[in-house]
Structure 1
Amino acid sequence: MTHQTRTPLLHRAWPVALVAGLAIIAAAAFAGMPGLLVDPLHTEYQWSRTSIGAAASVNMVVYGLVAPFAAALMDRFGLRRVAVAALLAVMAGAGLTTVMDQAWQLTLYWGVLIGAGTGSLAMTFAATVAHRWFVRRRGLVIGALTGSSAFGQLVFLPVLAWVTDTQGWRPAVVTLALSAGVVAVLVVLVLRDHPAEVGLAPYGAVEAVPRPRAEEGAALRTVRVLGRSLRRRGFWLLAGVFAICGATTNGILWTHFVPAARDHGMAVTVAAALVSTIGVFSLLGTVVSGWLTDRFDPRVLLVAFFGGRAVLLALLPTLFGPDAGPAMIAFVVVFGLLDVATVPPVILLCRRMFGADGAIVFGWVNALHQVGAGAMAVFGGLVRDVTGGYGPLWVLAAVLCGAAALLALRAPGRAGPEGAAEAAVSGGEGAFAGEPGPTDRNGSAERTTEAGR
């Protein structure tokens, strides 16, 4: 074994994964903030909740549209450069938000700048880090990094709610910007683009893997994959399922739960703590969902997840009140378990249906997840402005979840020829094999390792 393939006691992959997780956490903290901004901005500027929701909507849509290209940007410019640029973008957006005085500026700063930054640190970033740095424990790392998004809201949201309630919304936004700056420094110091850059093999690989060649046409491939996918019925089924998923999580719970709870007399800090608790159980639910997806038909799991979500959202209007009683706590726990649980089944279905293009297809499906979230964020603000409450919104969300369950049942359940060929070399990573396979970027050495496991 040469020096370049020797595995140290603590492989560099683990610090890299840790810092990547911190970057995802810092970016994810911005996702929960719009729910805390609705009432303060409405009070200070007299902006309508619809216009504030529009900024949150643009944020979600830009997030989704950037994500499919994020992997191409990382291939072309490197993980570290993209991560630092993304964190600087969210810092700039947050800083500019504190000096705005027009609603369109909120859309530009929070919607476009922060949306682009956080979208670059989404699931494609997690998958790229895991696939470049890990052969063994890859599924575990992808699951942990994916769950870091929910964990970011868990860590920051109660603190941000307290700061907003006691000091105002500007100090809360500045806190987010400073946190992103600290993580950007850690990214510069620790994150590296590939193990070969520091003379190592990926964690668990039996021999060194050369650094992948930068592909200038990667972005073009992303667009071409979309063009081919649009002609497939299965793509539209998965896109519909995931658009509803976004509408009934990010679009409604993350954006409108706190103001809806406040309408019923609940303190902002209590409502934010409930949303954070959803984030705690989202992490657990994602891990359990990945384990279940290894063992059961992903379509059946999606039906169960959306069916449960429909029941919970239909019951939610009866649970609101000044205090968080046992019934509301139960809602938060169960909804959290179902919140991100849809991701592993959809990843696996993308892999089965589209083979080597499955990861890119999932990126586009995830973009439509954000479009659905953005549409619901705007519609929720409109409902509140017109009716004076959020009641009709929860009923609509429950109906949409029922529709998603029906769409999931119609999705193709077996791998096509492309998916079957890809599965033969993916080495049994389970649900998380839906991300780029071991032969996509890392070459034959990793393929040999996977086959031997």
Structure 2
Amino acid sequence: MVWSARNGEGAEERCQPQPWAVAGATFLAMLSTAAAVGSPSVLILPLSREFGWSTTSISSALSVRMALLGMVGLLAAPLLNTLGLKRFLLSALLLVGAGLLISLAMTQVWHLVLLWGVLVGIGAGMTTLVLGATVAARWFSQRRGLVVGVLAASASAGPFLASPALSALAEVAGWRSTVLTLTGLIALSGAAVFALVPDHPDNTMHGAAGRPNRAGLAAPVEELLGALREAAGSGVFWVLLGTFAICGTSTSGLVQTHFVPFCADAGLSPLGSANVLALMGPLTILGSLAAGWLSDRFDSGWLLFWFFALRGLSLACLAFTEASLLELSLFGIFYGLDWVATVPPMVKIVIARFGVARANLVLGWISAGHQFAAAAAAYGTGLSKDGLSSYLPALLAAGALCLVAAAATPILSVGDGGRRS
């Protein structure tokens, strides 16, 4: 186990966990669960070929998973406070690993829903951005922004970066080899967490706050509900909730889940479409950093206007292209930059409107809305594809919703605390 040791300090200080070791193990855990969450997008076609399942049937499991990501993500902070970091992470990895491993023997759609939907959904929902923020706050007194950024990158870029390798493996050796590879990555993450991560940071300036909460979940859950009651009286909260539900619809629900089958309809190979998804991975990081820089200098509400408007127009353009590799790559470049660009200005607005103490709780509710909408979009898009034999209606509907979100966001510009351009 990695520990810090300084000459002249007491035994208790020498047993203090090394913060970067904790962050590294957490990074690996978040990356592996993110890869597991993103894998179904490249496995829809192999599963459909082997079992004859429709896109709607497979999408039902993915929509359950996305809904649970929102629900469990909302409760992640209370669960983490109750269990402590090590047990929290090991529980999450155990759920995801079990869901993947048992799925090797699945033969029915309900097996897929239970294993990839429920088990993987609950486990992955425990490794959201709340986890990264907690590690940064409790184990670091400096460079917290860097730590949050690095851990957020593992969660956002992980599904895209893993797509080409997983797709190639599925084409060459079958979907079960892909699942086994993901299970191995989960096991490696579990070993790192077991070796490097304690339950709480003893003897640091955050030690008391980092200890597991033995009082149980009742108090934190009541705090969550209290934050919702307070926020519900603000029109800003409802605009943010609605616009970020549309954000989930147009990203995780539509593009992340159905982009590979959409490309297959256009004649692009699964590996080629996975490469386009991989192109989005590093661009999501770049787009997020650029959006954070812009939100420090320009009005957050108007930034959201442009981000949503451009996203809506890009979806409409995609619907009417010939979906060539060049056109899809250009779409991937733009969509990658825009994927999480909405988050920094949204977070800034939440902090300015609801205060630092309540911000993470309000963000939890907004994030839950994002995931519930993504779940509905994943299933609805599959239903539309099976019924109409085309992704065109889903693309146009998502593009129109993004334009509606853009029209609603200027109201958020009043008093967001940012500098005016």
Q: TM-score, normalised to structure 2's length?
A: 0.91
Q: Is the contact made by 1:349 and 1:413 (CA closer than 8 Å) also made in structure 2?
A: no
Counterparts of 1:2-401 in structure 2, within 5 Å, are 3=9, 12-195=18-201, 197=202, 199=203, 201=204, 208-212=205-209, 214=213, 216=216, 217-321=219-323, 324-325=325-326, 327-355=327-355, 356-401=357-402
Deviation, 1:332, is 1.1
**Aligned pairs, number:** 406
- After superposition, give the CA deviation of every residue in 1:322-376 in whole Å (9 maximum; x if it has no partner): x522x33222111101001111111122222222111011011101101111111
- AA aligned to 2:296 is D
Q: Is the contact made by 2:65 and 2:118 (CA closer than 8 Å) also made in structure 1?
A: yes
Q: Is the contact made by 2:62 and 2:116 (CA closer than 8 Å) also made in structure 1?
A: yes
- AA aligned to 1:211 is A
- AA aligned to 1:70 is A
Deviation, 1:7, is 10
- 2:117, 2:362 → 1: CA distance? 24
Q: Is the contact made by 1:80 and 1:192 (CA closer than 8 Å) also made in structure 2?
A: yes
- 1:44, 1:141 → 2: CA distance? 42
- AA aligned to 1:370 is Q
Identity of aligned residues (%): 36
- 2:389, 2:266 → 1: CA distance? 12
Q: Is the contact made by 1:304 and 1:405 (CA closer than 8 Å) also made in structure 2?
A: yes
The secondary structure found in structure 2 opposite 1:249 is: helix
- AA aligned to 1:234 is V
Corresponding residue for residue 403 of structure 2: 402
Identify which range, 82-91 or 45-54, moves more after superposition: 45-54
Q: Is the contact made by 2:17 and 2:198 (CA closer than 8 Å) also made in structure 1?
A: no
- 1:254, 1:74 → 2: CA distance? 28
The secondary structure found in structure 1 opposite 2:259 is: helix
C-alpha change, 1:102 and 1:231, in structure 2 (3 Å) is: farther
- 1:5, 1:68 → 2: CA distance? 38
Unaligned ranges ≥5, structure 2: 1-5
Identify which range, 157-166 or 216-225, moves more after superposition: 216-225
Counterparts of 1:424-435 in structure 2, within 5 Å, are none
- 2:255, 2:265 → 1: CA distance? 15
Deviation, 1:193, is 3.8
Q: Is the contact made by 1:148 and 1:283 (CA closer than 8 Å) also made in structure 2?
A: no
- After superposition, give the CA deviation of every residue in 1:245-269 in whole Å (9 maximum; x if it has no partner): 0000001111111001001110100
Deviation, 1:139, is 1.4
Deviation, 1:390, is 0.6
Deviation, 1:5, is 12
Q: Is the contact made by 1:313 and 1:395 (CA closer than 8 Å) also made in structure 2?
A: yes
C-alpha change, 1:319 and 1:141, in structure 2 (3 Å) is: farther
Structure 1 moving runs of 4+ over 3 Å = 4-8, 318-321
- 2:222, 2:117 → 1: CA distance? 25
Q: Is the contact made by 1:240 and 1:407 (CA closer than 8 Å) also made in structure 2?
A: no
- 2:82, 2:341 → 1: CA distance? 31
Identify which range, 83-92 or 227-236, moves more after superposition: 227-236
Q: Is the contact made by 2:288 and 2:341 (CA closer than 8 Å) also made in structure 1?
A: yes
- 2:232, 2:413 → 1: CA distance? 15
- AA aligned to 1:332 is G
Q: Is the contact made by 1:290 and 1:344 (CA closer than 8 Å) also made in structure 2?
A: yes
Deviation, 1:308, is 1.3
The secondary structure found in structure 2 opposite 1:411 is: helix
Corresponding residue for residue 435 of structure 1: none
- 1:320, 1:251 → 2: CA distance? 22
Deviation, 1:89, is 0.3
Corresponding residue for residue 3 of structure 2: none
- 1:315, 1:110 → 2: CA distance? 33
C-alpha change, 1:349 and 1:7, in structure 2 (3 Å) is: farther
Deviation, 1:230, is 3.0
- AA aligned to 2:410 is L
Q: RMSD value over aligned CA atoms?
A: 2.4
